[in-house]
Structure 1
Amino acid sequence: MRYPAAPPADGETECPNRPALRRVPPYARTLVRLRRLVHPRRLAAVAALLLACAVTVLLVDMLEGVAAKDVATAVRATRLADLLAGVAATAGSYAALMGFEWLAVRQAGAGAVVAPRLAAFTGFISWSFTFVLGFGVVTGGAVRLRRYGRAGLSASETLAVTLFGTAFFWLGIAALAGVSLLAAPSVLRPVLGLPAPAGIAIGLAVTMTLAAWLALGGRTLRAGARSVTLPGAGTGLAVILLGIADTGLAALGLWCVLPAGADMPFLAFLPIFAMATVAGVVSHAPGGVGAFEAVILISVPGEPSALLASLLVFRLVYYVGPFALGALGFAAAELAPQRHRLSVLPHLVLPAFAPLAPIVLSAAVFALGILLLMSGALPSEGWRMSGLERLLPLALVEASHVVASVAGAALLIVASGLRRRMRASWTAALVLLSAAAVFTLARGFDYEEAAASLTLIGLLVLARGAFDRGGRPLQTVTPRRVAGVAGAIALSVAVGIALQGDHDWYRVHWWDFAFHSDAPRFLRASVGASVALGLFVLWRAIHHPVARAAEMPDGTRIAEAVAASPDPFANLALLGDKRVLSGAGGGFIMYQVQGRTFLAMGDPVAPTREAAIDLVWRFRELAHRAGGAPAFYQVNAASLPLYVEAGFSFAKLGEEAVVDLDGFSLEGARATRYRQMLSRAGRAGLTFEIVPAAAVPPLLPALKPVSDAWVARQSGREKGFSLGFWDAAYLARFDHALVRWDGRPVAFATLWSSAGGGEMAIDLMRYGDALPGGTMDFLFVALIDALKTRGVARLSLGMAPLSGLADHRLAPTWSRVGATVYRRGGAFYNFSGLREFKAKFRPDWRPRYLACTDSRSIARVMLDATLIISRGPRGLTGGSAIPETDEDTAA
């Protein structure tokens, strides 16, 4: 890699062979800044919502005037011969997908481990799950991981099979689309408005790209340290042929059940089907529901009701049928090795189902939520409402309709917590499913949805052991999930408007209540679901989770571990404002919780490296079970390997000033300034002493006014967590450096000591008002000299926050932001002044880091850390108490 060279220094000449640097144009910098401001996840959520809105508008326009009874009549009119032809085409398509699976297994180098029959069986199940549940890498990948894992494949090999299979699937669609466009280029006009020459150009581009891919067969492509070997020419040709067979037979399955009025040749239908498949995948909806139908309805001539009926039949044949067979096959394969234990079914089902339970049940709950919303938008069937009219009061039926739709929207939100194995989401899902089972019966005798709700309740109860994480069920809801729920509600509204019949919606009265008045009931249910979602978004925007009160540890045991620690900062555990996770051999981690952040202070206090590693893993597991994110604050550079092994990322927080007392001296020319500080203080009547811990309690009443004066000068309040605060019991544990003025205490510093006293650190540093100039300089110089006389090797002066962060344009974002704040944030905290004061004593600067599991969450973790240290939002405004120096007095 070539790096830009620095400009020549004075007296040097620029090398003629050095490449000239290209100036980055201003618009490029603007684009980079915009890219940093707009998070990809937010863009994805907005894109998904816009696509859902576009599909909704299209469906409303195309399905206007379509009645549910017309669709049902068209479904019943499907000929048996056409249905059987569609089933046969579906079987051929899935056979091609099984061939894809075997090619992917061979390409991943697992052909010697996985038998062809196992690959075909696993491929059928995984693809049927992928088509219905969506998220193929997760759903289909989970099935492959389970089946191939038993055969001996590693997780990385299974992932390779999944990725190759997905790539082959898309290559097949591209091959069919390219050939079809060359044969019938005019099919792009109805959907994209492109003329026939554009279709020919696209077809040629696709086929030429595939030809180039075949020509490169067997070569290895490298990008940095990564490489991938392309399939050979034989495998590539097989992929294209199987892809054409797969997509072509799937298209044939739909073409066979198209209505008689859809007069379209099969070759002209092929590129339309390929475009519909791509649109469905891009929409991120399970099975491509909505986008797939929109493309077909736009492109294929015929009555919308008849086309919609054909699409429903195709969904049943190509999606629901194989999914049911795949689920049964998967269950049978899991049960087969333990047939002799069928008498104890729960003990058999749970181990087999538990690994996939969060993913499968989350998808099923999400699907049921959509079903409840859609059902609330559809017209009721007359015989069902007539029966309810004889059994239930109208008020209960009307209320049940709204509650069932709200429960559907809530299930869409709770599903994200189920996928993350959260126990609270599991409980919420049980409550919502129970409500759905009752109110779907009461709103329209929808026994199908009630049965589905009860089935999911049973599965959730069986898999309750898989949901072992704590935390609140709403903590996992992301903006993308909210956008998805909003899109589902919008889609249900579009379907309702399209299928409720001909209504003048401006004249429909919301307050019309009757057993056979479907339109007002649909509007009330849609508004209820929308209002519920809006209230949730509002609550989420203003809600800030607050950590519970800290659990007080065993003081005696913690004090013993602190006394044995070589790190003086372990004394922070004695403050009593932190929770403690205990480990083997007396070690522990001190931490606090803010929102989702589990923030540990410093490195683990442990007697051995093995004990420290164990504590790091246990802390990560603790946060995982609670649905939180672990982080370590102010860790040493020497300890970074502990966290690397546990999957943590790092961001520099600043530098710690550590004075080497062995190299400190008051003799010689370099120490002239220090001697002047001491002599000036002596002339002003200042004296210094170190008060042992045993003599501190009687002295505290005299020190309290000094501390109060210091606090009064701060615009916030006392901090905590990473530094001490005024607490008589806490201060009485430590020696104190004390400065008197004419016998009266005017400044003090709390001294931490490590095991053996080889290293000490300053915690609290307080001084009063109206002191002689250079009082704090005197305290530090006298303290350093006294500790050197006692044989102490090192003295820590504490952190210089944001000091030493890289400000290069290629540095990480956090580093550049921190460096900017260090330079320009003096109005809020005197960062540079604090470092300059400590630099007077010629310390060594040791970097300190933040360790967190996701580098993208550094800003959130830092905000939570600030709230913890500030002991709440009120403490955020405190400035830095830079000790008064001779220069300050002179100024």
Structure 2
Amino acid sequence: MKTIQIWVKSKLKVIKRIFILSVIVAVIAELVSLGKVISFQQLQSIFQDIPYWKAIIMLIVGLLAVTPMLNYDNILTKLLEQRPKKRDLIKNSWMINTINNMVGFGGAISVGLRSEIFGKNGNQKKVMQSISKIFLFTMAGISIYSLIALCLVALDLVTPFVAHYWIWLVGGALYFPIVLITTYLKNEFTGNMTRKIKIELILTSFIDWTCVIGSFLLIGYLIGVQINFLEIIPIFIVAIIIGIISMIPGAAGSFDIVMILGITALGVDKEVVVAWILLYRLFYYMIPFIIGVLFSAKNASNILNTRYSNIPREISANFAHRIVVFLMYFSGVMMILSATIPVAFSDFKLLNILDPLSFHIILQFPSVLLGFLLIIMGRGFAARVTKSYWPTICLISLTLIYTLLRDFTWSIILFLIVLLLIILFSKAELYRKQLVYSWEKKTIDGIIFTSLSMLYVGIGVYNLPSFPHHRGYNAHLFFPSERIWISGFLAILVVSLCMFFFIRYLQRPRHQIGQNLDEQRAMSVLENYGGNMDSHLLFLKDKRMFVYTNSEGIDTVLFQFKAYNDKCTVMGDPSGKRADFPAAIEAFLEECDIWGYSPVFYEVSQEIVMLLHEYGYDFIKMGEEAHVELDMFSLVGKKNKGKRTIKNRFEKENYAFEVVSPPFDSHFVETLREISDEWLGSRKEKGFSLGFFTEDYIQRSPIGIVKEENGNIIAFANLIPTYNDPEGTIDLMRHKKDAPSGVMDYLFLSLFEYMKEDGKTYFNLGMAPLSNVGSSKKSFVQERIAFLVYNFGTRFYSFQGLRNYKNKYATSWKPRYTLYSRKNSIIYVILTLLIIDNMSVDREK
């Protein structure tokens, strides 16, 4: 015996897994057999004769009849001295009892499930002792009713049919006394219970079986059975006892035969009895059982999620969200089409099958209105906006009510219920605080709305009496009447207004992420942790900033970006503490996601590409950045003869280079402004990735100037700080129109020498757009297109000329990339970049 116990303990985990698997198999088998036990065609014909309010009462009564069983597990937790959350207790208890009602096997399922759920962290022996005590009393109530039924038989107050089954009633009546006696024995599995626990268990069992009997009788009353229900109780008791002893799941078959024979003996038609039993099984067994299965599925998913880092839940919730969006768009389109071409939906079988909601919906106004509204709600749901949840629930409920009022059809009801359940399941997917209506979404919705509206209006015109109908016309394009078409057209006008207000509702509060320039915070990050060649562009004040604060409350990373439409375009690499870049990027992506924005990272390095690749970002190469290694820079030697000649020529002509540090007087700033305006000519200043002339921006950094012999300035460049000691660069680089040829080369050469003496390691010459992009036949399609633009777009922008000019000085090239989410269209990403990068700047900024 001890050997067996040791073996069982060693194999306990395996035994538990086998048991859980067997329960799952039994549940699936029972779900499959539900169609055999309950005929849906029969139920549909029954419900056609039952008012809706009676069906609702039956549903409520069936659910309430299950609730007394929940107290068994409440008592069990007291015996085990456990204090689970009420919500978890109710959910677990409902699952155990409803599955046991359907699958049963003499209560073995309930014992196993209780052991698995309530015995996880407890003493297994104590758990089994407590469960066995509970299990003993579950039949106490039916035993008491057996005694009552036996008395009715003895007094000859019931039909003679029951008298043939008196032996079953005797057996049932003896169960309760035997149980009471065993509880007084000193047995650890049946005895040692307090009087209070015994009384509570007896009352629970009696109330439980009273609710079971009461629900059956009430269903009979609601379907109009005219009979003395006192005679039904003994028949019901006999049928229950035979069903329990048979150990058939749900007592299917044995219970039904006894009930049909007994009740028909009382003069009730067999068809009515069958309908009665079917409704009882539906509302007391099937619906609570389905709810219990959903609870068990949720428990199983919780276990899987805990074990596999919540990945299964994320996948299933995301899948459910996609299904909801598809169903809402699909349903909306089909409802509108069924109202637009109703004849086609009645003539073509395929269209009739595809239409989930409008099998019998013929009123044009509500159908068109609900169809367009479903598409609108689908947009809110697709965008995962929290505020779209309750309007969607209300719309589906309204559609359900409308369908019920027009024509009760099981297929429609089932579809809408499934849709509601999926919406409820995917609620966690709705987390965004506002809708930012992107160009991608507008394009999709615009195509759908425009196509459906044009189709509807076009068919209306086609149906005008004055329209010349040619031979071979399609009869499916005709409306039943002009009046019906007008009602549908009014629905389109109404839904356009609804769409406007609903989109506005979802878009509020129109929150922008980040903040305007806070110089103190920005300088704190840049001075303490460093930056890059793009960091100083923040002080143009044409962008917003996002600052990452670490767990210690210290600002360590800085992003600069501009929001246009739904795209938050980040300029260059983040600035600040490199070790915090991964956490800062995650925080920025999370902030954008919550508020409905889609980040785009413009002209970033390979390091950022690798970080963002982990978040599902695609990339396209935007060009290469030219670097001059200052340690290698020299004007000596034959190779550098051309550069040396330019430098010597300007020096011989008494031109001079000088670096002037701020603050600058108003005369100096005005001189630079005149040079800048002359250089710009009719062109407008551009910002974002380029600097533009403002006094505030000029005053922030030293200026390198080229002067004539008389001291007049003819060219200048601002030496912007990179907040990175080895790197030097400039931003604005402008000259007078009458400046001598080669003045920019002289300025560059002088800057190289100046920065080399200042201790800089390399000089950043900036980007050469589309340079060396898509040159390989195996490059991305987008990059191959960019390659064509680079080669054939010189007439619009000197891509090759800029590359060649910088290549005179560059000793190395570093690639720069643009990254975007895979959910975004590259076309709209590029369009956004073109707009914000070429947007004219208000020079008063």
- Normalization by structure 2: what TM-score? 0.52
Residue 568 of structure 1 pairs with residue 541 of structure 2: no
Query: Structure 1 residues 547, 633: closer, same or farther in 2, change over 3 A?
Result: farther
Give me the whole-angstrom Cα distance separating, in 1, the residues matched to 2:453 and 2:816. Answer: 49
Give me the whole-angstrom Cα distance separating, in 2, the residues matched to 1:337 and 1:803. Answer: 54
| TM-superposed deviation, 1:330 | 5.1
Per-residue Cα deviation, 1:452-492 (whole angstroms, up to 9, x for no partner): 99999999799766422232467664766667778988999
Contact 1:569 1:761 in 2 (8 A): no
Per-residue Cα deviation, 1:807-848 (whole angstroms, up to 9, x for no partner): 333322222222222222111111111122222224311111
Per-residue Cα deviation, 1:753-807 (whole angstroms, up to 9, x for no partner): 2336321111111112111121111111111111112222111111111111233
Give me the whole-angstrom Cα distance separating, in 1, the residues matched to 2:422 and 2:481. Answer: 35
Tell me the residue number matched to 1:115: 21
| TM-superposed deviation, 1:618 | 2.1
Give me the whole-angstrom Cα distance separating, in 1, the residues matched to 2:682 and 2:450. Answer: 50
Give me the whole-angstrom Cα distance separating, in 2, the residues matched to 1:664 and 1:826. Answer: 30
Q: 1:731 aligns with which of 657, 678, 698?
A: 698
Tell me the residue number matched to 2:103: none
Q: 2:381 aligns with which of 405, 418, 434?
A: 418
Q: Secondary structure at the match of 2:737?
A: coil
| TM-superposed deviation, 1:520 | 3.4
Give me the whole-angstrom Cα distance separating, in 2, the residues matched to 1:358 and 1:703. Answer: 58
Tell me the amino acid that sits aligned with residue 807 of structure 1: S
Query: Structure 1 residues 417, 744: closer, same or farther in 2, change over 3 A?
Result: same
Per-residue Cα deviation, 1:548-579 (whole angstroms, up to 9, x for no partner): 79841321111222234152322122222212
Tell me the residue number matched to 1:596: 566
Q: 1:721 aligns with which of 673, 679, 688?
A: 688
Tell me the residue number matched to 2:675: 706
Contact 1:558 1:574 in 2 (8 A): no
Tell me the residue number matched to 2:771: 803
Q: Secondary structure at the match of 2:577?
A: coil
Per-residue Cα deviation, 1:577-621 (whole angstroms, up to 9, x for no partner): 212221134212211222232211111213132x10112222222
Give me the whole-angstrom Cα distance separating, in 2, the residues matched to 1:632 and 1:424. Answer: 29
Query: Structure 1 residues 435, 677: closer, same or farther in 2, change over 3 A?
Result: farther
| TM-superposed deviation, 1:684 | 3.6
| TM-superposed deviation, 1:689 | 0.5
1:390-401 residue pairs with structure 2 within 5 A?
none
Contact 1:658 1:843 in 2 (8 A): yes
Contact 1:376 1:522 in 2 (8 A): no
| TM-superposed deviation, 1:719 | 1.4
Contact 1:654 1:848 in 2 (8 A): yes
Give me the whole-angstrom Cα distance separating, in 2, the residues matched to 1:665 and 1:606. Answer: 33
Per-residue Cα deviation, 1:87-140 (whole angstroms, up to 9, x for no partner): xxxxxxxxxxxxxxxxxxxxxxxx9998365368579999x9xxxxxxxxxxxx
Q: Secondary structure at the match of 2:481?
A: helix
Of 527-536 and 360-369, the range deviating more from structure 2? 527-536
Q: Secondary structure at the match of 1:651?
A: strand
Tell me the residue number matched to 2:611: 642
| TM-superposed deviation, 1:688 | 0.9
Query: Structure 1 residues 770, 332: closer, same or farther in 2, change over 3 A?
Result: same
Q: 1:669 aligns with which of 638, 646, 650?
A: 638
Residue 657 of structure 1 pairs with residue 642 of structure 2: no
Give me the whole-angstrom Cα distance separating, in 1, the residues matched to 2:290 and 2:732. Answer: 64
Residue 839 of structure 1 pairs with residue 829 of structure 2: no
Q: 1:823 aligns with which of 791, 799, 810?
A: 791
Query: Structure 1 residues 678, 817: closer, same or farther in 2, change over 3 A?
Result: same
Tell me the residue number matched to 2:106: none
Q: Secondary structure at the match of 2:663?
A: helix
| TM-superposed deviation, 1:629 | 2.8
Tell me the residue number matched to 1:616: 585
| TM-superposed deviation, 1:654 | 0.8
Query: Structure 1 residues 614, 740: closer, same or farther in 2, change over 3 A?
Result: same
Contact 1:378 1:522 in 2 (8 A): no
Per-residue Cα deviation, 1:201-244 (whole angstroms, up to 9, x for no partner): xxxxxxxxxxxxxxxxxxxxxxxxxxxxxxxxxxxxxxxxxxxx
Contact 1:710 1:768 in 2 (8 A): yes
Aligned residues: 519
Contact 2:328 2:375 in 1 (8 A): yes
Q: Secondary structure at the match of 1:850?
A: strand
Tell me the amino acid that sits aligned with residue 545 of structure 2: V
Tell me the residue number matched to 1:690: 659
Query: Structure 1 residues 734, 121: closer, same or farther in 2, change over 3 A?
Result: farther
| TM-superposed deviation, 1:527 | 3.8
Q: CA RMSD in A?
A: 5.3
Give me the whole-angstrom Cα distance separating, in 1, the residues matched to 2:30 and 2:546. Answer: 47
Give me the whole-angstrom Cα distance separating, in 1, the residues matched to 2:713 and 2:18. Answer: 82
Per-residue Cα deviation, 1:4-45 (whole angstroms, up to 9, x for no partner): xxxxxxxxxxxxxxxxxxxxxxxxxxxxxxxxxxxxxxxxxx
Q: Secondary structure at the match of 1:763?
A: coil
| TM-superposed deviation, 1:708 | 0.8
Give me the whole-angstrom Cα distance separating, in 1, the residues matched to 2:838 and 2:535. Answer: 20
Tell me the amino acid that sits aligned with residue 824 of structure 1: F
Tell me the residue number matched to 2:717: 749
| TM-superposed deviation, 1:421 | 1.3
Contact 2:513 2:546 in 1 (8 A): no
Of 755-764 and 731-740, the range deviating more from structure 2? 755-764
Residue 578 of structure 1 pairs with residue 543 of structure 2: yes
Give me the whole-angstrom Cα distance separating, in 2, the residues matched to 1:593 and 1:651. Answer: 20
Contact 2:514 2:547 in 1 (8 A): no
Tell me the amino acid that sits aligned with residue 522 of structure 1: I
Per-residue Cα deviation, 1:269-318 (whole angstroms, up to 9, x for no partner): xxxxxxxxxxxxxxxxxxxxxxxxxxxxxxxxxxxxxxxxxxxxxxxxxx
Give me the whole-angstrom Cα distance separating, in 2, the residues matched to 1:696 and 1:593. Answer: 35
Query: Structure 1 residues 702, 120: closer, same or farther in 2, change over 3 A?
Result: farther
Per-residue Cα deviation, 1:478-528 (whole angstroms, up to 9, x for no partner): 76666777898899999x99xxxxxx966699xxxxxxx973343224445
Contact 1:568 1:761 in 2 (8 A): yes
Give me the whole-angstrom Cα distance separating, in 2, the residues matched to 1:325 and 1:490. Answer: 47
Per-residue Cα deviation, 1:623-676 (whole angstroms, up to 9, x for no partner): 322333322111112443222222222211111111111111122222322221
| TM-superposed deviation, 1:749 | 0.9
Q: Secondary structure at the match of 1:760?
A: strand
Q: Secondary structure at the match of 1:115?
A: helix
Contact 2:333 2:375 in 1 (8 A): yes
Tell me the amino acid that sits aligned with residue 580 of structure 1: M
Tell me the residue number matched to 2:822: 854
Contact 2:440 2:828 in 1 (8 A): no
5+ residue gaps, structure 1: 1-110, 129-321, 339-349, 380-399, 498-503, 510-516, 540-544, 876-891
| TM-superposed deviation, 1:712 | 1.4
Query: Structure 1 residues 776, 538: closer, same or farther in 2, change over 3 A?
Result: farther
1:14-163 residue pairs with structure 2 within 5 A?
115=21, 117-118=23-24
Give me the whole-angstrom Cα distance separating, in 2, the residues matched to 1:479 and 1:402. Answer: 26
Tell me the amino acid that sits aligned with residue 542 of structure 2: D
Contact 1:425 1:472 in 2 (8 A): no
Tell me the amino acid that sits aligned with residue 381 of structure 2: L
Contact 1:697 1:732 in 2 (8 A): no
Give me the whole-angstrom Cα distance separating, in 2, the residues matched to 1:323 and 1:737. Answer: 84
| TM-superposed deviation, 1:364 | 6.1
Of 845-854 and 116-125, the range deviating more from structure 2? 116-125
Give me the whole-angstrom Cα distance separating, in 2, the residues matched to 1:124 and 1:743. Answer: 97
Give me the whole-angstrom Cα distance separating, in 2, the residues matched to 1:805 and 1:854. Answer: 20
Tell me the amino acid that sits aligned with residue 565 of structure 2: G
| TM-superposed deviation, 1:533 | 9.1
Q: Secondary structure at the match of 2:562?
A: strand
Contact 2:603 2:818 in 1 (8 A): yes
Tell me the residue number matched to 2:252: none
Contact 2:369 2:491 in 1 (8 A): yes
- Normalization by structure 1: what TM-score? 0.49
Tell me the amino acid that sits aligned with residue 751 of structure 2: L
Contact 2:513 2:591 in 1 (8 A): no
Give me the whole-angstrom Cα distance separating, in 2, the residues matched to 1:537 and 1:337. Answer: 40
Query: Structure 1 residues 624, 475: closer, same or farther in 2, change over 3 A?
Result: farther
